[in-house]
Amino acid sequence: MDKKRMNGLHHVTAISGPPQANADFFTKVMQQRLVKKTVNFDDPGTYHLYYGNETADPGTILTFFPFVNAGPGRAGPGMASAYAYAVGQRGFDTWMERLALEAIDFDGPAERFGSRVIKVSDPDGAKVELVEVEGDDGPTLDGFHSVTLQLDDMEPTQRLLTDIMGYDEVAHETKNGEERLRLQLPGDVRGGVVDLMRSDVPSIGRQGAGSIHHVAFRALDDDDQLDWRERLLSAGMDVTPVIDRQYFNAIYFREPGGVLFEIATDPPGFTRDEDLAHLGQSLQLPAQYENARDRIERTLPTLVA
């Protein structure tokens, strides 16, 4: 089978506590746009919130299932443990100055693979990373730099990402009891970096508030997604059929280390039920729940964003 390369990240989905604190943090502190306010397909009494850049582009989208009574989660082997936004050099300094002036605590800057990294804690204690990249872009966070996958054994995941999904191994380092292997797509790909990480500190992860649920990679269209599905099936992955997620079609599988991966299509996109100027302003429901709108709106917590 000919060599094919993934198109970078499409979105990252995480779990949070109450939705208002989540929305306040990501729209005010992280200055992201609330691009979609909808509900969990499997639990319409729970929001599904989408944040991204002003034009809701793939590779900028961070989504949350905000469970009001969620217990605390924590990252561990077999889970995605972090996501990072890319920030140009000038913008990186501006971010540190702004956070300091607004008395928002952050960790760092530390160095990772020769670049500065800072971490801000969200309301559930999860770390939101900002990674300095080349360029003189301003402080607007316009997409992901990377995700980190925490694994007990990095080799099987590394083989999947390099041999099947088209990533290149570009760097390796060990610091403070953490071993990291950096995999990257060539070119200027938004969210084109995946870090594999192994820690010397034993831990057991659990899903809950502050944890990442899954990582979604980008398919340009339905044909591209189906081609990826066939390639993954041929590589021995247990891949779901295509599932309609309203704003994209999705397929899911667990990579060899246990992390839940998704491949999501660009179309139809987030403007299928709201125009660009009004994204995120109204509650949008999947068609199967529209006839229960009144009940769902009474059940959902109040959210002002």
Per-residue pLDDT, averaged over 144-151, amounts to 98
Nearest Cα to 113, choosing from 140, 135, 139, 145? 145
* Reported confidence tier of residue 261, pLDDT bands at 50, 70, 90: very high
Residue 301: predicted pLDDT: 94
| Cβ proximity of 60 and 85 under 8 Å | no
* CB atoms inside a 10 Å sphere around CB 124: 22
Phi (first) and psi of residue 200, to 5 degrees = -75, -15
Rounded CA-CA distance 289/293 in Å is: 7
* Residue 202, preceding peptide bond in cis (omega within 30° of 0): no
State yes or no: pLDDT of 121 exceeds 70: yes
Residue 1: predicted pLDDT: 60
| Cβ proximity of 265 and 226 under 8 Å | no
| Cβ proximity of 117 and 84 under 8 Å | yes
| Cβ proximity of 252 and 239 under 8 Å | yes
Nearest Cα to 213, choosing from 80, 104, 123? 80
Per DSSP, the residues of 115-135 read EEEEEEE-TTSPEEEEEEESS
Per DSSP, the residues of 55-68 read T--TTSEEEEEE-T
- Burial (CB count within 10 angstroms: exposed 0-12, middle 13-18, buried 19+), residue 256: middle
* Reported confidence tier of residue 191, pLDDT bands at 50, 70, 90: very high
pTM here? 0.96
Per-residue pLDDT, averaged over 60-81, amounts to 96
Residue 277: predicted pLDDT: 97
Per-residue pLDDT, averaged over 266-281, amounts to 97
Rounded CA-CA distance 211/175 in Å is: 23
Q: Which tens digits make up the pLDDT trace of 199-231?
A: 998 889 999 999 999 999 999 999 999 999 999
Distances (CA, A) of 24 to 70, 129, 186, 251, 258: 18, 18, 35, 31, 32
Q: Which tens digits make up the pLDDT trace of 22-34?
A: 999 999 999 999 9
